[in-house]
Amino acid sequence: MLTLELDGLLDEVGKHDAGTLGVQLPSGLRQRAREIAGFFKSHGYEVIFSGDPSYGACDVSDDVLASAGADLLLHFGHSRMVGPSRIPVIYWHVRDDIDIAAVISGNIEKIRSMGKRVGLATTIQHVHKLGGVKSLLEDAGLSVMLGEPIDRVSFPGQVLGCSFETMDALDVDFFIYIGTGTFHPIGMSLSTDREVLRCDPYTGTCENVTAERDKILKKRYAMINKARDKKDFAVLISTKK
């Protein structure tokens, strides 16, 4: 379960001179909006929610919420990435308390069959438990490496949907990604040209994403080949920071 730790966030909010709080939630936390609103209203704050989707740490609704009257933005679920903003922003890391070591111990022989040197990665909600997973893998005889933080990545072993460069620098045989979905592990495999084992702590399964990566590559090459004879192109840009 995702833990919001609102008491700790309240302490951070108290460091700012704010009466109206703007709140931005990723889709996975939107069902907790009433809980968040009720908590801060009970402490005397007015709360305004952004209705736009939140796709990542680069997608900060400071302009919209400032225009709506917010003094402070609470951006849930991501670590800090962007620089100056129209109003102060608190990036609040939402942790998942699920046992991520169980999926590793339950698939340890499959993991060991892929090589001796492994790079370990996950997203922000699981990074606080990577130390235990690293020790578990080392006890199984593997050499384990974590990518180091950089400007856009706050924690060792953390990856973003747009940032896999911390993994590129690791000299490993393969990678383990801990989390749900294929978006991040396929991105890792495309960026590093290594096999990536996606280990899902909710299903207890570990699956190699190479076949899915190769399907995407084939589609990309087909699109490139199709574009060779074209003369006019549209370039799409975004207002995201």
pLDDT digits (tens, 9 = 90+) for 117-166: 999 999 888 988 999 999 999 999 999 999 887 777 778 888 887 778 88
Give the CB-side neighbour count of residue 90, counting CA atoms within 13 A: 21
**For residue 125, what pLDDT is reported?**
85
- Helix (H, G, I), strand (E, B), or coil: what is residue 198? strand
Can you tell me the distance from the alpha carbon of 150 to that of 158, in angstroms, rounded to the nearest whole number?
10
Collapsed DSSP state (helix, strand, coil) of residue 149: coil
3-state secondary structure of 194: coil
Burial class for 207, CB neighbours closer than 10 Å (0-12, 13-18, 19+)? middle
In this prediction the pTM is: 0.84
Closest Cα to residue 37, out of 27, 28, 47, 26? 47
Are residues 20 and 48 in contact, defined by beta-carbon separation less than 8 angstroms? yes
Residues in the chain: 241
Averaged pLDDT score across all residues of the chain: 90
